[in-house]
Amino acid sequence: MGKLRKPSRKSQTCTKCKKRKVLSSFRILNPGYLDSWCKKCFKEYQEQYRKNYYKKWRKYSQTRDQKLKQEVIKTYGGKCKCCGETISEFLTIDCKKNGVELHKKFRYGTNFYRWLKKHNYPKRNFQLLCMNCNFAKGMYGKCPHKMAFKQ
């Protein structure tokens, strides 16, 4: 892609297709600056780029995200705090009551794991639970494992 250009007239030449076009045919990058490629050329470029690199990018991002999840799981003990489940696909981070607002900000998944890493894995507000225990805790207030042991 080309340089930013500050529009000073009613039309501009696309540096990719070399056609002169009205300014509305160009993307606004910053207030007062237009892209040097027209919207049509940029769209064609994006489509081709996605076609060529999507599978490679997807594989890379899945690998990166899995490594991050494994790091989070390891840091929080590697097993469900309630039942001891160790299969990583079943494990998730649970927010204790005073961590709820933090969790709502990032919801779940990779962004949440990145937030945990950035904040040095806070243990006071978060714990590792399996999906079953986490769901039961959310629905019933306690996990059935905890209720079974008390009886």
The pTM score is 0.61
Structure tokens at 58: 């997807």
Mean pLDDT of 9-32: 88
Could you tell me the sign of the dihedral formed by the alpha carbons of 6, 9, 15, 16, in that order? Answer: positive
Q: How many C-beta atoms lie closer than 10 Å to residue 106's C-beta?
A: 14
Of residues 7 and 76, more confidently modeled = 76
Q: 1, 43 in Cβ contact below 8 A?
A: no
**pLDDT in the model for residue 98:** 55
Write the DSSP symbol of residue 3: -
Beta-carbon contacts of 21 under 8 Å, excluding residues fewer than 6 positions away, are 11, 12, 13, 14, 38
Q: 59, 66 in Cβ contact below 8 A?
A: no
**pLDDT in the model for residue 15:** 93
Mind listing the pLDDT tens digit for each residue in 95-141? 876 555 655 666 678 888 998 899 899 888 889 999 999 898 888 88
Mind listing the pLDDT tens digit for each residue in 24-69? 899 888 877 888 999 999 999 999 988 889 888 889 999 999 999 9
